A and B are shown apart, each in its own frame.
Chain A
Amino acid sequence: MKHYRAHLLVCAGTGCVSCGSFKIKEALEKEVKKRDLQDQVQVVATGCNGFCERGPIVLVQPDGIFYQLLKVEDVPLLVEEHLLKGRPVKKLMYVPPAEKQPVPKMKDIEFFKHQRLIVLRNRGRIDPEKIEEYIAFDGYEAMAKALSEMTPEGIIDEILFSGLRGRGGAGFPTGKKWAACAKEKRAPKYLICNGDEGDPGAFMDRSVLEADPHAVLEGMVIGAKAIGASKGFIYIRHEYPLALKRVEIAIGQARENGLLGEDILGTGFDFDLEIVQGAGAFVSGEETALIASVEGQIAMPQQRPPYPAQKGLWGKPTVINNVETWATVPNIIRRGADWFQGLGTETSKGTKIFSLVGKINNTGLVEVPMGITLREIVYGIGGGIPDNREFKAVQIGGPSGGCLPAKLLDLPIDYESLTAAGAMMGSGGMIVMDDKTCMVDIAKYFLNFLQDESCGKCVSCREGTQRMYEIVKDITEGKGKESDLALLEELAQITKDASLCGLGQTAGNPILTTLRYFRHEFEAHILDKRCPAGVCTKLIRYVVLAEKCTGCLSCKKACPTEAITGTLKEVHSIIQTKCIKCGACREACRFEAIDQQREEAIQII
């Protein structure tokens, strides 16, 4: 094997790729060649680093220097200074908000410092399209151990003892699921990897598949041995082309190397994998709906019991686990259940990946041990709220999760405490909101998502989400009635109670948690016809404050609908009938001369 003096690890997760990291990689390769360094320096495209806010990212190893927000023009400087002269380039390094000194090393950056990488251990470290690199970092070792040294019962016991719980949302103990399926005598048995990640703002499964596809494959072979399955399916959303491509490459490479297919590693065990593409229905993430989708039916959830472990794909015993769960399995087998037991809290073991998005300084993907508090994630890893604004809420668990307020910032994150607070672990989406966010508007957004994505089978879910959306929409438009809140609560509770699947059973959460923690905002909308955050456009109007306006024309230029009149050095005014309340004028004004007021046209009844 060839040895290089330095590796340039270019992040090639979807976030960085859309910021142009492939162009950076090309430029780096060209520059390295130009300087005749190609025998000393290797350029590698890796999976997502997680710090998507700062993409494109390049990590220089072995020094561990972290370069961010790179542009193609920066590449010659970087190569010349760092690789030829050995002087890391300060101006391309990460500077924490409100500080002046750059932090050169990745491991010293707050965002990375508090994370505990297990599932994402290979992120930003290996080329996901090369099986050799995965193997070099102990890859497929756990599989070899499971196939040659362990019995199926031994593997299940290990997983049971580790306390691993499903990472897809509900947190069902993985070992129990496997044991139930292993007990079934009928053959064939199937395995499914659920990669139908549909929560708005969530990209955990996508990143795992893009950064370390072999870990998922390895986990599935171990699972197959445990339950006696011969065939597995990886269900990936059609919207994840990069993940699809990398998994396809990974399956091909594993087959070539005898790690998939017939007689794996000469142990006589046969198992093969196939990719199934989803077509963009959120409800396909529900396991029975996903099975229907693999079978070629409409993705519509079915009654459980019978559980998939007894009667799943084509009526055969099936184990279905989330991407993150599968990727955790090899780590447990390799390092032992005792080690995994030691991480996390009493009931929730191990680590969990969260995608940290919204009004937060360090947007990105983080893996943290269970039991960490929300405050540590938002203010430690996340670096707080931009512009030093006030934290208002964090939405956890996707559309059917809940919004937790500032007073719950010290809540430890585990399955039980999140459920008790009215939210849920979900697949791990975390949307941070500041004081400029209207909670009624947020509830409306999630209800709109749910009424679109409900499969439409149960009256409670299909009609319930629609009616809740209609009521909340009326409230945001100033048409709310006092009786609406009680009706919303009743409807949300019954939607949760009476629906068949996980989607309907949690569809009331966005309403119930926002009503529980932010009732005053609903009341302000209904009683005073006022939107405290100034978001609901029907309840606000923009006016020019004559005493502050200098007549600079900048608001006029910013207005997309030409609703602002006035000439240079004259006080401007806004034609309300033309105004679409986008707020562009307010942002453009340097003199704070544009004020947001309560819409006078709405009468208080």
Chain B
Amino acid sequence: MITFRMNGLEVKVEEGSTLLDAARFYGLEIPTLCYNEGLTPYGGCRLCVVEIGEGLRTKLVSSCTYPAEEGLVVRTDTTRVWAARRMMIELMLAMAPGSKVLQDMASRFNVTRVRFPLRNDECILCGLCTRICAEQMDAQAIGFQERGHKRKISTPFDMRSETCRLCGACMYICPACQLRCQGPNAETAICNGCLTMEPTCLEHYDDLQCWMYDAGRCGTCVREKT
């Protein structure tokens, strides 16, 4: 067992656990996007960053890839962590403003503006699709191409892949192709419908109809409070 400190608590986890595993085990919430329990951690979205170290020599690391180390000091919600998370959300929203997952995330972290021109790529290059294709479907039909600003996900040579079985796993797991809810601001860069939540379904039903998260979290059924 490895013992270290997380948000002031002494925590114990098995060797080989990541900081994210540890946080989840102890019920500390860390947002993730490119992480999925069934796939190898990638560490690309940088939403799960946490601050490690003490004093002046602290740094941010992605908790989904960083292994738990004996005696480590971890803080999951510092000013620096939140500033980074909010900027990541803003950057990703500018790439794919149509994504429900990102819009919900924006409301959760109180990101209320996008200061960059929208690109509408509808892909945030999180690599979930390439990993599920390779690791769970054993197909490797899609992968990353190029680097830097030219990076994209495609089939080899941009041709129809012979190994693709059209299983749809890539679409199932994609956080960006999930359409955003038809909230009050469906066309704008940022919806923020969930910032001031008031369930709309209660006007029609006696019970809350939300099934995705706890009440009102998903934003499907809320409208802006006036």
Contact = CB atoms under 8 A, between A and B. Distances in A.
Contact of B146 (A456, A459, A466, A470): A456
Contacts of B60: 497-498
Interface stretch (B79-87, B196-204, B208-216): B79-87
A106 interface: no
B149 A460 contact: no
B95 A463 contact: yes
Interface stretch (B61-69, B132-140, B178-186, B218-226): B61-69
Given A305-B69, A499-B46, A500-B43, A470 B62 contact: no
A464 B125 CA distance: 14
B124 interface: yes
A78 interface: no
Contact of B124 (A451, A459, A467, A483): A459
B147 A498 contact: no
Contacts of A494: 83-84, 87
Nearest to B42: A457
Nearest to A496: B60
A453 B66 contact: no
Contact of A305 (B49, B67, B88, B151): B67
Interface string B123-164: 011010000000000000000101111110000000000000
Nearest to A494: B87
B139 to A, nearest CB: 18
Given A305-B69, A467-B91, A500-B62, A455 B83 contact: no
Contact of B144 (A298, A470, A497, A500): A298
Interface centre among A283, A298, A456 (most CB of B within 10 A): A456
B88 A498 contact: yes
Contacts of B146: 456
Interface in A84-127: none
B74 to A, nearest CB: 14
B148 A454 contact: yes
B24 interface: no
A456 B148 contact: yes
A511 B4 CA distance: 37
A281 B147 contact: yes
Contacts of B61: 303
Interface string A442-482: 00000000111111111110111111001000000000000
A483 B94 CA distance: 18
A494 B62 CA distance: 14
B174 interface: no
A459 B46 contact: yes
B116 A460 contact: no
Interface centre among B49, B67, B80, B147 (most CB of A within 10 A): B147
Nearest to A283: B147
Contact of B151 (A306, A456, A497): A456
Interface string A390-411: 0000000000000000000000
B151 A470 contact: no
Interface centre among A454, A483, A494 (most CB of B within 10 A): A494
Contact of A462 (B65, B117, B149): B149
A459 B95 CA distance: 10
B36 to A, nearest CB: 16
B115 interface: yes
Given A305-B69, A494-B83, A452 B46 contact: no
Interface string B32-72: 00000000001111100100000000011110011101000
Given A303-B66, A305-B69, A459 B144 contact: no
Interface string A479-502: 000010001001100100111100
Given A463-B91, A494-B83, A497-B80, A458 B43 contact: yes
Given A457-B43, A458-B44, A500-B62, A490 B87 contact: yes
B92 interface: yes
B67 A454 contact: no
A467 B91 CA distance: 9
Nearest to B65: A303
Contact of A306 (B67, B87, B115, B116): B67
Interface in A271-296: 281, 283
A470 B147 contact: no
Contacts of B80: 497
Contacts of B117: 470
Contacts of B125: 456, 459, 462
Contacts of B88: 459-460, 498
Contacts of A450: 148
A464 B116 CA distance: 11
A271 B45 CA distance: 41
Interface string B81-109: 00110011001101100000000000000
A567 to B, nearest CB: 48
A464 B94 CA distance: 12
Contacts of A500: 43, 46, 62
26 contacts: A303-B66, A305-B66, A306-B67, A451-B148, A453-B147, A453-B148, A454-B147, A455-B147, A456-B144, A456-B151, A457-B42, A457-B44, A458-B44, A459-B45, A459-B124, A459-B125, A460-B87, A462-B149, A464-B91, A494-B83, A497-B60, A497-B83, A497-B84, A498-B60, A498-B87, A500-B62
